[in-house]
Amino acid sequence: MSAISVRSTERPMAEINITPLIDVMLALLLIFMISAPLLTGKIALPLSNGKDTSMPRTVELRIGADGQVLYNDAALSRIELEAQLLNWAGRGDAKPILQLRPDKATTHQYLIDVLSLARQTGIEGISIETPR
């Protein structure tokens, strides 16, 4: 017997062993789950100074499907709306909260126009009631 001849009957493996990949994925998942709560920022909320605990006045504006803005069931033009918003914004500490109530058929653009005008005039408290 001269040389040992080893005949390979094995073929190259066509499969990928995914066990190490799963281990790495689970390790990364664990790292992210632990570190994510540590990275979230905290929002500082203003604390009450004890002077006035009353709720601010709420002003309701309805926005129709055609873009018409109604205040106390009276239609306001854009100039009247801007003057009224400036009046409310200029009240110092007694600024009201603006509550917008769009109609179901109101397009987003009409709502955005009123929001933009309110922010330009200095109204800070704005809430939007979604139609049902």
The Cα 83–Cα 86 span in angstroms is 5
Q: How does pLDDT run across 40-86, given as a tens digit for each residue? A: 777 777 776 766 556 778 889 999 989 899 998 889 999 999 988 88
Would you state the pLDDT for residue 29?
95
Would you state the pLDDT for residue 30?
94
Would you state the pLDDT for residue 69?
92
| Whether residue 24 has pLDDT greater than 90 | yes
Would you state the pLDDT for residue 5?
58
Would you state the pLDDT for residue 23?
94
Would you state the pLDDT for residue 132?
72
Would you state the pLDDT for residue 131?
75
Cα separation of the two ends of the chain: 92
The Cα 65–Cα 62 span in angstroms is 10
Q: In this structure, are residues 63 and 103 in contact, taking their beta carbons and an 8 Å threshold?
A: yes
Only one residue has tokens 């799963």, namely 22
Neighbours of 22 (CB within 10 A): 10
Q: How does pLDDT run across 78-129, given as a tens digit for each residue? A: 999 998 888 888 766 677 888 999 998 888 999 999 999 988 888 888 888 8
Would you state the pLDDT for residue 52?
59
